[in-house]
Amino acid sequence: MMKTFSSIFLLCAAQILAIAQPAAQFDKDAKVFRLDGGNVSYVFGVNAKGDLQQMYWGGKLGAGDRFSQAQQRPEWASFDSPYTNTPQEYAGWGAGLFVEPALKVTFADGNRDLVLHYESHTETPHGVDVVLKDIKRYILVTLHYSMDPATGILARSATIENREPQPVTIEQAAAAGWALPPAHYSLNYLTGRWAGEWTLTQETLHPGERVIESRRGTTGHQANPWFAIQSGDPDENHGEVWFGALAWSGSWRITVEQDQLDAVRVTGGFNPFDFGYVLHPGQSLDTPVFYGGYSAYGLGGASRMLHHFELAHVLPHRLGEGEAAAPKPRPVIYNSWEATEMNVTEAGQEALAEKAAELGVDRFVMDDGWFGQRKTDHAGLGDWYVNQEKFPQGLKPLIDKVHALGMDFGLWVEPEMVNPDSDLYRKHPEWVLNFAGRPRSEERTQLVLNLARPDVRAYVMGFLDKLLTENDIAFLKWDYNRNWSEPGWDQLPPAEQKKVYVEFIRNLYGILGELKKRHPKVEFESCSGGGGRVDLGILQYADEVWPSDNTDPFDRISQQDGFTYVYTPQIMMAWVTDSPHWANKRATSLEYRMLSSMQGSLGIGANISKWTDQEMSTAKRLIASYHQVQPTIVQGDLYRLISPRNGSEFSATQTVNHDKSQSVIFAFVHSTQEGRGFPRLKLMGLDPAAEYALTPIEGSVAKDTPAVASGSWWMNHGLGMSEEFRGDFQGAAFRLDKK
């Protein structure tokens, strides 16, 4: 339809208005702040006492809707004061606060009472900075609010500044506090362990506090810094969901608390366990960012929103191509780890590279074993020179060969670690995290370098910069294979040593940021023995992540399901490895393994030197099909049609690209029971009026399925699978293309 002049004018006027309209509105009389973005409004205000109080978070309100001034909640008998009953935006611990505080400090004179009141505010391009001040002491807290206009996802963080003449110790600092009114809610969060990450845990919210955390110095496999609270019971497609994800790769904590009056309070930030950050006069501390979002379309709606936000605003963008250049779909990689482990040699890697190129792989990655005296995991970490026995002429011949085969080259590193059996440790035993005179607990015979130390930071920066300068490397898989123990930092006075929890991570981010600047074309993967370091903090620098060392294709279907509640399939690397799988001794077909990995960013990690011609041609065919639809799979809208959780016999996912011109469907039979056929898949997110042609990628559909049908047909009648789609560990995939 042609646009009329007046509709163009109206459009322009609306755009001008949208630009002119500040992201945050402040109603001076009522002292109310309001942020609108996407379909979300977030409202808070200053009550008569001066507290900054949360007032509303949910579906977008009318443009003319006004709030009157925030009202402190009344006292509940003599046991719960208005201060504790009122949902504070950022509660200082003081004045009889019994719920979780956002900030707890100790002043030099022993005073530990902190009551924060509104002081001033400044508008920012996408939101507002609100300054709070203690009622007596010169402690300033600036709360930063920035709302994404497209999704309504709100980025919140705090800067705590000491303007007292004496030092102040911060014992607990959250990035933000979120609040919801009393109702029946369920809580969703992710738990796991090494080789078993990404289990979606769902439970009814009960009175008391649920703590989701890592005390490990890093993000951890055991829990991920994300929560989703759903109104009522968990529902994939319907109902209100409030969610949050913390951008921090150090020890972190999220608390979800149903308080004494049944309201819900959430905090998230640095883990207060063993925490202590001394602020000298004039110093300040920035917390990580805690992102929060709202969807009215269930957990599926929440994760689709988060995926878009990550692609648009969190992940590193293509440098030099401007803001709008979204991350590219990942190259299909080959990684040698499961094929050779540390037994890497020039000839062996070159042979694998030849086979990988035949398959249509885009990037060849050499894993652990190429450096120092690295023959087993007992030695070598810290010595980042090329092993002369394995690569007599350095890495160049292998890299040249990989390039000549039409692939780019990637390499494994584990920069923050050292084996006691290494030149580095012999020279600098003082560089590791340790308490003087105490044992140094080894894990995988390695210790953690104290990256908070300026000399360690300089060393790590130096060898990585040299490696990337001297070699044509497109990609680093940055690994991190243990958690902290004995986290001492004896360069600093005792009272300051706990700063290690913050400075280590700041230096990690600093190094990654600097490397990105100096080597803009180099891409990074965040790996930590699988999915131990996946969070929105590291994802500002990492182009992809390794979700788990467990590559069993059946386990991966569930792990990938859990992973996508928070993270986009764009970053979810998934390798096809050998069968039977080492973890479960389960044998599966190559087709099934390929399809399981094709749900994310595909890679091959098998010993392809042993593959038969048949296996080579199956993989080659499916890699070619994958390349054709990869942008839809990894950057489209993801619908989890049938969940693999709770021992389901089946599972299915569907992705739809942004203009709804293509959709890709994956279906898996885990184990047919009692002859049950695969349920008809009612697809989602298509254009109802458009015609879509169906093409099988693998497997076949029910005989009566039309070759072309409307979006309405596929969504209402649904897609039926072939009667043959039964058995154990079967997979099928289809694409729909708009005619």
> What are the catalytic residues?
479, 549
For residues 738 and 719, what is the distance between their CA atoms, to the nearest angstrom?
Answer: 16
For residues 527 and 548, what is the distance between their CA atoms, to the nearest angstrom?
Answer: 8
CB of 386 to ligand GLA, least distance (A): 17
Q: How many residues are listed for the chain in this entry?
A: 739
Q: By rule CB under 6 A, what string of x and - marks binding of each residue 2-41 to ligand GLA?
A: ----------------------------------------
Task: For residue 222, give the nearest of 204, 240, 197, 195 by alpha carbon.
Answer: 197
Within 254-313, the residues that bind ligand GLA by CB under 6 A are none
Compare residues 240 and 544 and give the one whose CB is closer to ligand GLA: 544
CA distances from 672 to 553, 588, 647, 702, 730 (A): 17, 15, 12, 17, 9
Strand 333-335 with 363-366, pairing: parallel
Task: For residue 134, give the nearest of 50, 221, 40, 55 by alpha carbon.
Answer: 50
For residues 32 and 174, what is the distance between their CA atoms, to the nearest angstrom?
Answer: 23
Compare residues 370 and 546 and give the one whose CB is closer to ligand GLA: 546
The SS3 assignment for 485 reads coil
CB of 335 to ligand GLA, least distance (A): 7
Within 513-532, the residues that bind ligand GLA by CB under 6 A are 527, 529-530
Within 407-426, the residues that bind ligand GLA by CB under 6 A are 412
Q: By rule CB under 6 A, what string of x and - marks binding of each residue 457-486 to ligand GLA?
A: ----------------------x-x-----
Within 333-362, the residues that bind ligand GLA by CB under 6 A are 337
Residue 83 · residue 96 · CB < 8 Å: yes
Tell me how crowded residue 59 is: count the other CB atoms within 10 A of its CB. 13
Q: How many residues bind ligand GLA (CB under 6 A)?
A: 11
CB of 609 to ligand GLA, least distance (A): 19
Q: How far apart are the first and last CA of the chain?
A: 19
CB of 532 to ligand GLA, least distance (A): 8
Within 229-248, the residues that bind ligand GLA by CB under 6 A are none
Compare residues 605 and 731 and give the one whose CB is closer to ligand GLA: 605
Task: For residue 553, give the nearest of 532, 537, 577 by alpha carbon.
Answer: 577
For residues 382 and 460, what is the distance between their CA atoms, to the nearest angstrom?
Answer: 9
For residues 210 and 102, what is the distance between their CA atoms, to the nearest angstrom?
Answer: 15
Residue 639, CA atoms < 13 Å, CB-side half-sphere: 19
CB of 530 to ligand GLA, least distance (A): 5
Compare residues 445 and 589 and give the one whose CB is closer to ligand GLA: 445
**79, burial (CB in 10 Å: exposed 0-12, middle 13-18, buried 19+):** exposed
**697, burial (CB in 10 Å: exposed 0-12, middle 13-18, buried 19+):** buried
Query: E strands within 296-434?
Result: 333-335, 363-366, 408-413, 417-418
Phi first, then psi, for residue 101 (nearest 5°) are -80, 160
User: Using the rule CB under 6 A, which residue among 51, 80, 259, 368 binds ligand GLA?
Assistant: 368
Q: Is 208 left (phi over 0), alpha (psi -120 to 50) or beta?
A: left
Does residue 604 interact with ligand GLA by CB under 6 A? no
Compare residues 293 and 562 and give the one whose CB is closer to ligand GLA: 562
CB of 337 to ligand GLA, least distance (A): 5
Tokens of 152: 């309504």
For residues 234 and 342, what is the distance between their CA atoms, to the nearest angstrom?
Answer: 44
CB of 316 to ligand GLA, least distance (A): 21
**29, burial (CB in 10 Å: exposed 0-12, middle 13-18, buried 19+):** exposed
Does residue 549 interact with ligand GLA by CB under 6 A? yes
Q: Which residue is nearest to ligand GLA (CB)?
A: 368
DSSP codes, 1-13: -PPPHHHHHHHHH
Compare residues 577 and 710 and give the one whose CB is closer to ligand GLA: 577
User: Using the rule CB under 6 A, which residue among 546, 650, 678, 714 binds ligand GLA?
Assistant: 546
CB of 594 to ligand GLA, least distance (A): 19
Strand 728-738 with 691-698, pairing: antiparallel
CB of 529 to ligand GLA, least distance (A): 4
Compare residues 420 and 529 and give the one whose CB is closer to ligand GLA: 529
CB of 76 to ligand GLA, least distance (A): 51
Compare residues 309 and 337 and give the one whose CB is closer to ligand GLA: 337
Compare residues 38 and 530 and give the one whose CB is closer to ligand GLA: 530
CB of 423 to ligand GLA, least distance (A): 19
Compare residues 278 and 418 and give the one whose CB is closer to ligand GLA: 418
Compare residues 256 and 448 and give the one whose CB is closer to ligand GLA: 448
For residues 42 and 35, what is the distance between their CA atoms, to the nearest angstrom?
Answer: 5
CB of 442 to ligand GLA, least distance (A): 15
Token pair 């979800």 is at which residue? 256
Within 64-83, the residues that bind ligand GLA by CB under 6 A are none
Cα dihedral across residues 384, 385, 390, 391: positive or negative: positive
Strand 363-366 with 408-413, pairing: parallel
Residue 148 · residue 135 · CB < 8 Å: no
Compare residues 341 and 470 and give the one whose CB is closer to ligand GLA: 341
Does residue 364 interact with ligand GLA by CB under 6 A? no
Residue 260 contacts by C-beta under 8 Å, 6 or more apart in sequence? 76, 80, 84, 85, 98, 99, 207
User: Using the rule CB under 6 A, which residue among 134, 164, 367, 543 binds ligand GLA?
Assistant: 367
Q: Which residues would be at the binding site for ligand GLA (CB under 6 A)?
A: 337, 367-368, 412, 479, 481, 527, 529-530, 546, 549
